A and B are shown apart, each in its own frame.
Chain A
């Protein structure tokens, strides 16, 4: 893919390293001269010196028609301006806007950003989810929070122990997508006749509204 990385310091450094390894075509823009030199030397990739929230800088960098732009400056308003130029003036297909203020996540989405990322917002979401449900080891929301994937380890007290999937009533829009069993080398993609055993790790796909119900269905 063709990707623009605008602004940022350590996050940009890390991201560029990852993307270069995966052979993506990059345009890197940074307004700090010494950091530009560092990035160029470290990643052997050209870096444009300039403020990426300026139209002429984006224009000279040649971002026209790129697939993705990631805005990583530490000022939320700058990131919005960068992303809006990219979308409105340069036809960049998808923009990812990082924000420091978690309240800007919803706001920037309303202003047309495809994806808005705030580390504080993600931590808050993770904690909210983790306290929602015990036994949860890992979980994530995808597709703008419309889908939840979470793991749970089956304990001896769970009602689903030794039952086949067909006998477990799950809420709507919920499936057990995968079972990880210690005694089985391969992962198990269950069918209706698969039996659930103590110690199984279940990977459950559901909607945020049904997450609690799904958990209850497995436990009781």
Chain B
């Protein structure tokens, strides 16, 4: 288990994924900071959300310092832009040495940008492919006939 109680999690990008992760982790007792440059994005968070919301540009170093990135044990980059996510994850891992850094990439080739660093890529494309494969072909031995 990577996450322990009251560990600090920073999430940049409060979209569907970022928002759900934030509320899930907050419910489980983690200290959550969510950053998004669009204040309206925080409407996705439930009433019960107990974390901190920062409406600011996540790729501005001052925002990350304000969020005390040096104290974070988990950093998650889930903005809608792969290149921004790549930059964010590298700041967190390479400059601030955040021990657990996750990044969401739409384009699987972006893995080449973080290869060799202590950053874990999450790829919706690969997950979808896997889900389709499992559902379509899963235990079906007669896949060739499809």
Contacts and interface: CB of A to CB of B under 8 A. Distances in A.
Interface of A: 53-56, 75-78, 80-81, 84-85, 88-89, 101, 103, 107, 110-111
Nearest to B112: A89
Given A77-B86, A78-B83, A103 B62 contact: yes
Contact of B113 (A85, A101, A103): A85
Interface string B96-107: 000000000001
A101 B59 CA distance: 10
Interface stretch (B45-53, B87-95, B119-127, B130-138): B87-95
B60 interface: yes
Contacts, number: 49
Interface residues of B, number: 20
Contacts of A78: 83
Contacts of B95: 107, 110-111
16 contacts: A55-B107, A77-B83, A80-B86, A81-B86, A81-B87, A84-B86, A84-B113, A85-B112, A88-B112, A88-B115, A103-B60, A103-B61, A103-B62, A107-B95, A111-B90, A111-B91
Given A88-B113, A89-B112, A103-B62, A81 B90 contact: no
What is the predominant secondary structure among interface residues of chain A facing chain B? helix
B8 interface: no
A41 to B, nearest CB: 30
